[in-house]
Structure formats: C-alpha cells, structure tokens
Amino acid sequence: MEQKNELPPLMPLTSPWMHKVMQSPTTIYQLMEKYGSPLNIHRTAPFFDNYTEYKTVFESYDLKHLVLFARKANKCKGFVEATKSSGMGVDTASYQELKQCIELGIQPEKLVVTAAIKSRKLIELAIKNRIVIILDNNDECELVQSVAEQLNMDAKVGVRVSGFSFKGSKLYSRFGFDIEGVTDLVLNHFGKAKSLNRLVYCGIHFHLNGYSIDQRGEALHQSLDLALSLGLNGFKTHFIDMGGGLLMNYLKEENQWTHFNRTLQLAVQGKHREITFQNQGLGFSMIEEKLQGELNTYPYFNDKAKAVFLKGILSYSNRAGQSCADRIKAQGIEIRMEPGRSLLDQTGMTIAKVIFRKKDALGNWLVGLEMNMTQMHSSSADFLLDPFILNQNQKDNEETTEVFFTGAYCLERDILLKRKIALKQLPAIGDLVVFVNTAGYMMHFFETEAHLFDLATNLFFKPNNETVKFSDFKID
Ligand SMILES: Cc1ncc(COP(=O)(O)O)c(C=O)c1O
C-alpha cells in the first residue's frame, strides 16, 4: 500500500470574472432566491478572446476563413447573439437551433446545418433561407432534392466526408459519405439534367472523433485532393469545413494531472486507498489481476490547446512537403471550422447550494447539493476539476474533510463528481459549491427534467462597475 495517501488535487484554470462573482456571495444568494439552484452563469468576454485566438492563427497564414460556433455545446442565445458582432458564424444541429439563429438575425451565409437527423421541416427552413446544408447520406440527398423541387428553389449543400485513410487504415465514422464514393456522387448526380439537379455543390465537410492533430491534417490533405479532382470536373469547392474537436485545457498543472492518473491506477489495483466513489476506475479496471484499460475522460490537461492545436493542423505537411495552409491558399478555398467546447472555454460556471451533509455506512461524507447529475454531466467518465466552496463561515484550524457531492435524482449513481474531494472544512447547509468552466457541454448537453425539476436558469454576467450587483446578471 502506498504511504502517501492524500487525494490528488486537480486545480482548474479560472478567469478573473469567475473570482469576482465568487467574491460576491450576497449577490449569488439574491440570484438563487429568485432563480433557484443550480445557477448557470456565463460571460461572453472569453468567448471573443477564444475566437480572436483562432482568427489570429488564420490571419497569420493569410487564409480566408469562417469560424462557426457549434451551438450544440451550449443552449444559450447569448452566445449566438455574441457571434453577430464578431464575424463568427453558427453551426446548427436541429430545427430549433436554426430557427432561433434566424430569428436572432444571423446572416444566412454565416449559418450551416450539420444536424445528424434532418427533418423535412428543417430542410425547408434551410433552403428557404439559402443556408448551406451538410449532406450525410443518399436518402438525405433525395429528401433535399425533393424539398427543393417542391419549393422551386436550389439548395446549397456541402458533402460530409469520412473514411479518410490514416497510417494504412480507414478512420471509421458513422457519419458522412465514404471518401471513395464522393466523386461519383457529385459528378454523376449533381448538375444540370442529373437526378440531384437542385443541389448546388459548395464544399466539403468532415468532423473527426478524438483529438488527433495528425488525423485532421491527413483528412484536410485528402479533402484538398478531392477538391482538386472535383474542380477539374467543373465543381468548384468554395469551402472545406473541418468540424470541431479542437482541444482546450482545463487544468493548471501538468504534474497534478499525471499524479492523479498514477494514483487512480494504484487505487484500482488496491495499492492506494480509493480516490473515487466505490473505487470507480474511470476506464481502468482489474481483469485477471492485471490493470487494464485507460483513462476514459476528456484530456483535461493538455499542452496543445486552441491556437497550438489549430497551428498544428494547418502546418501539417503531405508527402510532397506542402502544408495544409499553403494548399488551402493555393486552391483559393475558404477554410471553416466548428468549434463548440473550445470557444466556450472560461465562459461559464455552475453554482449549487448545499442542502444536507451525512455520513454513509462506510464513513464517507456525502454532501447533497440542490442540483442533479444531468446539470453537470460529462460525456466522458468524469468531470475532473476541483470545485470551489463558498463557506458562509470560514473556520480556522478545521481538519480537512473529504466528501462526495451527491445530486437530486433517485439514482445511486447521482454522484456529481466521481472523485472524492478534500475540503478545508465540512460545508454547512446553505454553503455554495461552484463548478467552473462548465459552459461547454457540461451544463446543458444532458440536462433533463426528471422528477419535474426545473432546468437551471442561465444568466449572463454583464458588470457595469467594480461592485457586483444583482442587476449585473441578465437572464438568457
Ligand atoms: C459536426 C460537428 N461539428 C462540430 C462539433 C463541435 O465539436 P467540439 O465542441 O468538440 O469543438 C461537433 C461535436 O460533436 C460535431 O459533431
């Protein structure tokens, strides 16, 4: 058994605005009084900063570009509004998302529809507003053709491509057309007197799972090859859209990340005391007395975030030594991308109120929060950031208390963070727990209204001066 037995901390990166809000608990209590717990609080300033970071990279390569915010990552209208003044566009994934963007006055040329399932209603809305639809399969092509015929209008389309070859094998995706079939699709079906004559080819789209720069570089080169060959046959590619999945970094210190990873593995092997609820392995498990698997979470710490990640893709060279950026420019193509999570870096936090504390039969402190697991839910195995606690009464010389935070659903697994968290003191009833950097996917993507709980209220922090006031928070 390892002697050093502390729980490994994971300190999150934060922004000054978050601390400003946290230093104003009276205002937070007033907000909770009115809107309930939990509260999602947003700020658009970092959204613009993140966009500027990407824009600066594109400009440094002198590339015509369009960054489309993938709004599936957060439901707030505030971020859609924010794109208007910045030059950003919006990637929409449903009828409601598109309709709202149109109503909010986003220009059609700044919108794209990438929805995985496209209803007739959605397609109609897109065609009527001359918005590019990204095509996924033959049935969808036929549906778009039929709606376009019915409306007696053309439909602007991009083709979603997958099956790129990487290190000798194909990159599998359930989405899109296999790259080998795209030339046939466009040359034999698009254009005058062909079966899909109402579809106007505008560009190529892909979105890759995972966070590999090299895979994206390869996919971009293969898309550029495809664009060349389509161009020789009279189909000009106006844009290549490389989707989202640009990495962001959540954590302050790499050594905390590696230490956590190592300690978790030891705990799963029984060589360190448990650091997660019921010793969950977050991807690791013991099979035949051997540690198997890998950490199945977002890479919360990484040194290839945002601009570095984008530069890596654009400077990725093909066998002839040409970079993606040089080829994009030479071919006169607009490069597009659809970041969701990384544009939302530092833009949001979730605050909940402590309702009870109790010890379970194993002696663990459980701290019940007025929120549920769907209001901060990662699509990966856990959200690995330490929360902040706003104690009403700070006590000196208290012993460190280790707790699990539990939620309001009637499920044994409604444990808000799987990690056991070490706190300076046991939270009191009414204390506040703040989870930072939750705007991208965490707060909205999986939220449900089970038990008829209301969804959390979304507020935007728009300070007027130094002191934080109730009126600085606008409902979305
Ligand atoms: C087509 C498409 N574009 C963009 C995104 C946004 O990706 P991210 O938020 O990881 O940047 C996704 C995410 O699933 C997607 O499917």
**In sequence order, what DSSP letters do the residues of 119-150 get, joined into one string?**
-HHHHHHHHHTT-EEEE-SHHHHHHHHHHHHH
Instruction: Give the Å distance between the CA of 69 and the centre of ligand 1.
Output: 9
| High-pLDDT (> 90) share of the chain, % | 97
Which pLDDT score is estimated for 210? 94
pLDDT in tens, 170-204: 999 999 999 999 999 999 999 999 999 999 999 99
Asked whether the beta carbons of 364 and 358 are under 8 A apart, the reply is no
Tell me the mean pLDDT in the region 40-56: 98
In the predicted structure, residue 354 carries a pLDDT above the cut 80: yes
pLDDT at 4 over 70: no
**Res. 213: pLDDT tops 60:** yes
pLDDT at position 376, please? 95
Q: How confident is the model at residue 2 (pLDDT cuts 50, 70, 90)?
A: very low
Spacing, Cα 426 to ligand 1 middle (Å):
39
Measured by CA distance, the residue closest to atom 10 of ligand 1 is: 245
- For the chain, which domains are there? 16-43+346-475 (2.40.37.10), 45-247+300-344 (3.20.20.10), 254-293 (no CATH)
Nearest ligand 1 atom, CA 73: 9
Q: What is the predicted pLDDT for the residue at 1?
A: 44
Q: Mean pLDDT over residues 281-294, rounded?
A: 96
Please state, for a pLDDT cut of 70, what percent of the chain lies above it: 99
Residue 298: predicted pLDDT:
96
Q: Which atom of ligand 1 is nearest to the CA of 342?
A: 11
Dist CA 133 CA 115 (whole Å): 9
136 lines ligand 1 (CB under 6 A): no
In the predicted model, what is the mean pLDDT of residues 249-261? Answer: 98
Q: Ligand 1 centre from 268 Cα, in Å?
A: 32
pLDDT > 50? residue 138: yes
- Residue-wise pLDDT for 360-391, tens only, equals 999 999 999 999 999 999 989 999 999 999 99
> pLDDT band for position 409 (50/70/90)?
very high
What six digits make up the tokens of 369? 């929060």
> Separation of 216 CA from ligand 1 center, angstroms?
13
Q: What is the pLDDT of residue 5?
A: 76
> Is the CB of residue 244 below 6 angstroms from any atom belonging to ligand 1?
yes
Omega before residue 299 within 30° of 0, cis = no
Query: CA dihedral in degrees (331, 334, 339, 345; nearest 10)?
Result: 110
Residue 3 has pLDDT above 70, yes or no: no
For ligand 1, the distance from its centroid to the CA atom of residue 161, given in whole angstroms, is: 15
Instruction: Determine which residue's CA is closest to atom 2 belonging to ligand 1.
Output: 243
Q: Of the candidates 413, 414, 412, which has an alpha carbon nearest to the alpha carbon of residue 453?
A: 414
70 lines ligand 1 (CB under 6 A): yes
Measured in Å, residue 326 CA sits from the centre of ligand 1 at 25
List all residues 6 or more positions away from 3 whose beta carbon is below 8 Å from its beta carbon.
none
* pLDDT tens-digit map of 435-461: 999 999 999 999 999 999 999 999 999
Atom 6, ligand 1: which residue's CA is nearest?
244
Cα separation, 81 vs 468, in Å, equals 23
CA of 146 to the centre of ligand 1 (A): 28
Question: Which of 51, 72, 117 to probe ligand 1 with, by most ligand atoms within 8 A of CB?
Answer: 72
Beta bridge partners of 159: 135, 204
Q: Please work out whether the CB of residue 243 comes within 6 Å of at least one atom of ligand 1.
A: yes
Task: Convert 287-324 to b/e letters by CB count within 10 Å (16 or more is b).
Answer: eeeeeeeebebbbbbbebbbbbbbbbbbebebeeeebb
- The answer to whether the CB of 208 is under 6 A from ligand 1 is no
| Residue whose tokens read 């089970």 | 450
Residue 339 beta carbon below 6 angstroms from any ligand 1 atom: yes
Tell me which residue of 423, 73, 402, 37 sits closest to 245, measured CA to CA: 73
Distance of alpha carbon 86 from alpha carbon 24, whole angstroms: 30
Q: pLDDT band at residue 396, thresholds of 50, 70 and 90?
A: confident
Transcribe 186-197 into DSSP letters.
HHHHBSTTSTBT
| Residue 73 near ligand 1, beta carbon < 6 Å | yes
Residue 41, pLDDT score: 98
Average pLDDT, the chain: 97
58-108 pLDDT per residue, tens = 999 999 999 999 999 999 999 999 999 999 999 999 999 999 999 999 999
Taking the centre of ligand 1 as the mean of its atom positions, its distance from the CA of residue 200, in whole angstroms, is: 24
What pLDDT shows up at residue 205?
A: 98
pLDDT band at 397 (very low <50, low <70, confident <90, very high): confident
